[in-house]
Structure 1
Amino acid sequence: MTKPVQPTMTAAYYAQCVISFAVAIGSVAIGLIFLPVNPWVRAFLAVAVLYTVTSAFGLAKCVRDRQESSNMSSRVDQARLDKLLAEHDPYKVDSN
């Protein structure tokens, strides 16, 4: 049996994700700094952005955990099937 290939994350993809996140947060921070509004409104928007970012990280973690748990259960099922197939001998005669 062939094992399913696990996708790997390249260094370039990781760097792109980190740079993209930094640019997004930086541009929002610059926009908030130069926004011509009351400091209380600016502070409210900054807290809203931080809450959105932390919620996005939480959601990403939940999605990752759910995917890992489904992959783990499928690997356990595959291991059980492999064990059954390894123990099965079609030429064995039952002595009953």
Structure 2
Amino acid sequence: MNHQDKYWLIYAKATFVIAVVAMVISIIKLPGDLLVKGYYGICSLFLVSATITLSKAVRDQAESHRLINKLEEAKTVQILNEMDE
């Protein structure tokens, strides 16, 4: 892992923690009863969970397409090499 990747990972983790802390503080300071605060808390947790799931699915799809493209490229190179022989 190079320095740029390391710093990007630190940045991503730090911004996630800051966002979660800000959301928790916002919900605690929210005027209203405990039921409303609990609702917003659960919605926030669900949003975080859905975001993580979506980003993983998008990354997995991109990696899958990249692997398929590499396989197709290798097949093409193999066919071209066979034609040259």
> Normalized against structure 1, the TM-score is what?
0.79
Determine if the alignment matches structure 1 residue 66 to structure 2 residue 61: yes
For structure 1, list consecutive stretches of 5 or more residues without a partner in the other structure: 1-8
Instruction: Provide the residue aligned with 2:72 in structure 1.
Output: 77
> Normalized against structure 2, the TM-score is what?
0.88
The structure whose Rg is larger is 1
Instruction: Provide the residue aligned with 1:32 in structure 2.
Output: 27
* Aligned CA-pair RMSD: 1.4
Q: How far does residue 84 in structure 1 lie from its aligned partner after superposition?
A: 1.6
The runs of 4+ residues in structure 1 deviating greater than 4 Å are none
Letter in 2 for 1:48: C
How many residues are treated as equivalent by the alignment?
82
Which structure carries more helix by proportion?
Answer: 2
For structure 2, list consecutive stretches of 5 or more residues without a partner in the other structure: none
Q: Within 2, Cα distance between the matches of 1:12 and 1:80?
A: 37
Where relative contact order (Cα < 8 A, 6+ residues apart) is larger, the structure is: 2
